[in-house]
Structure 1
């Protein structure tokens, strides 16, 4: 069963942190979009693959992907996925930075992400719910960055080819096939790809 809450409905909530839980069927895709707030995307079940114009990030269990505010991105679900998203106002958690990244999710952070999705939209900032959100931010500030990113090349034709591959991956693609499709020799292609 799919449940889906539109994060746009949460963008103007007068709280520095809001959380959303969603369930998606296998292979579901969220088309290119962006958020006014930064987004931490955590798959409580399943795996998510997030792409931007600059690279791709994979969040298997015990990991989450940070996407800064305004960054255009798409998301693919690997298997059935149950997400817990946290939308964070600028300046609330500066350590997450201004670039997408994968962070480690400790057992405490996982529990806080799950609990945050049960909290009312306009929670009491001074009460228990505000404390949960404050502790969540404190845990995010100490979460380790995990190197699960694949940067995209700088050459426009190669970037387009990489995006096309992510849209429809094929185990039958070869270096020769890619270099032919881009109109270059194998050696030139491999040099360009490594660079």
Structure 2
């Protein structure tokens, strides 16, 4: 069965209007940049996925999904491993934006429907129960709320590499002046160019990076003290303050809400 599912990636069209593909991505796994001839809704039932699209890095935790319209180039990776599900949808589907990707807040209903559809045969019946489930999935997708906490990525080579360095070392605390010196520009020039390319100040970008990294680490069941230290905080208190300011929840409240919304997550 898995071979048949994998072969779908090489097909020019889908055998049915919707097909669900599921698999486990081990830690440090990476799918290089590619496109599909159909739309894709991708989410993880456990773990966190990092999805790179044009000028954006998207963190997909279990309460979120990413919508990738036909032809949208994307790469997918996971730092700590993830159980993922891909909902492939015929390109004729027009109820979500078909011009750009977006992050959606996935609901328990949609998760349950996708899990149910994942047990269907590749050539499931176009009438009866299977088609009713598929129709309900498609009619539910436009009702999902959009999430705006993506991480914009600059386009110029110097700023791209600077952001890559910050992404790989979220614990580092460098002033804007020090970072500007690393790429041989003035502090003011760095601030102006960064805002122009990302729509955010460097300080706001760095804060969002640490917040999104925190979500990734929280989904590994590491304790809060260890996560705080990994992100460069001297103690849990300033880390908790940052997380609450960004999300409206404490880290523990966030995890409790995730478990409530994702009853299929396995406890360790």
The structure-2 alpha-carbon separation of the partners of 1:129 and 1:65, relative to structure 1 and needing over 3 Å to count, comes to: same
Number of the residue aligned with 2:122: 121
Contact 1:59 1:65 in 2 (8 A): yes
TM-score, with structure 1 as normaliser: 0.86
- The structure in which a higher percent of residues are strand is 1
Aligned pairs (5 A) from 1:12-51: 12-51=13-52
- The structure in which a higher percent of residues are helix is 2
Residue ranges of structure 1 left out of the alignment (5+ in a row): none
1:12, CA displacement in angstroms? 2.8
Matched, 1:106 2:99: no
Number of the residue aligned with 1:71: 72
CA RMSD between the two structures: 2.4
Distance across 1 between alignment mates of 2:165 and 2:35: 22
The structure-2 alpha-carbon separation of the partners of 1:178 and 1:68, relative to structure 1 and needing over 3 Å to count, comes to: farther
Q: Deviations over 1:80-112 (max 9, x none)?
A: 210010111223143244211110111100101
Of structures 1 and 2, the one with the larger relative CO (CA 8 A, separation 6+) is: 1
Number of the residue aligned with 1:188: 189
Distance across 2 between alignment mates of 1:89 and 1:126: 17
The structure-2 alpha-carbon separation of the partners of 1:27 and 1:154, relative to structure 1 and needing over 3 Å to count, comes to: closer
Residue ranges of structure 2 left out of the alignment (5+ in a row): 197-268
Number of the residue aligned with 2:152: 151
Q: How many residues align?
A: 191
Number of the residue aligned with 1:92: 93
The structure-2 alpha-carbon separation of the partners of 1:40 and 1:91, relative to structure 1 and needing over 3 Å to count, comes to: same
The structure-2 alpha-carbon separation of the partners of 1:181 and 1:38, relative to structure 1 and needing over 3 Å to count, comes to: farther
TM-score, with structure 2 as normaliser: 0.64
Contact 1:96 1:140 in 2 (8 A): no
- Once the two structures are overlaid, the 10-residue window that deviates more, 133-142 or 94-103, is 94-103
